[in-house]
Amino acid sequence: MNLQPKNKLETGFSLASMTDIIFLLLIFFMLTSSIVSPTALPISLPKATSATQSNPRVIVTVTSKLEYFINNQPIEAKNIEVALVNELKKADEQKVLLNMDKTVPVEHLVRITAIANRLGAKVAIATQLEQKNDE
């Protein structure tokens, strides 16, 4: 008497569906990482009803704690003019974008704008586009 089963059970595990999931996750993280700026500084921009288009070579950022950055590199407030001179020499266009937290006193904006104007650079202030409520 032969009591052996005719159909043998497969004990292996197919990883085809797992590789599909991993591939989709990889695509998702690659797309979202290109959208999020990893070197962004924590500032809250003032709101405006219109946005200006600008592609500056020099970006000056002032945080709410009055920390200064030029092109995401920290700089002391007393050395801002020297650093701006050096960065504007490297840039092909003399444009400066000011990313200032909305809580920063205006005197800091005026000081940096005056330095940039003295150096012959055009100055733009970064803003956040204000959402219109049509009700």
Could you read off the pLDDT of 102-116 as tens digits, one per residue? 888 989 989 999 999
pLDDT digits (tens, 9 = 90+) for 78-128: 999 999 999 888 877 888 888 888 888 989 989 999 999 998 888 888 877
Contacts with 43 (C-beta within 8 Å, 6 or more apart), sequence order: 61, 62, 63, 64, 99, 100, 101
- Whole-number Å distance between alpha carbons of 14 and 32: 29
- Name residue, tokens 């000011």: 98
CB-CB contact of 82 with 44 (8 Å): no
Give the domain 47-129 fold: Nucleotidyltransferase; domain 5 (3.30.420)
Best CA proximity match to 112, nearest among 128, 103, 121, 42: 121
Q: What is the pTM of this model?
A: 0.60
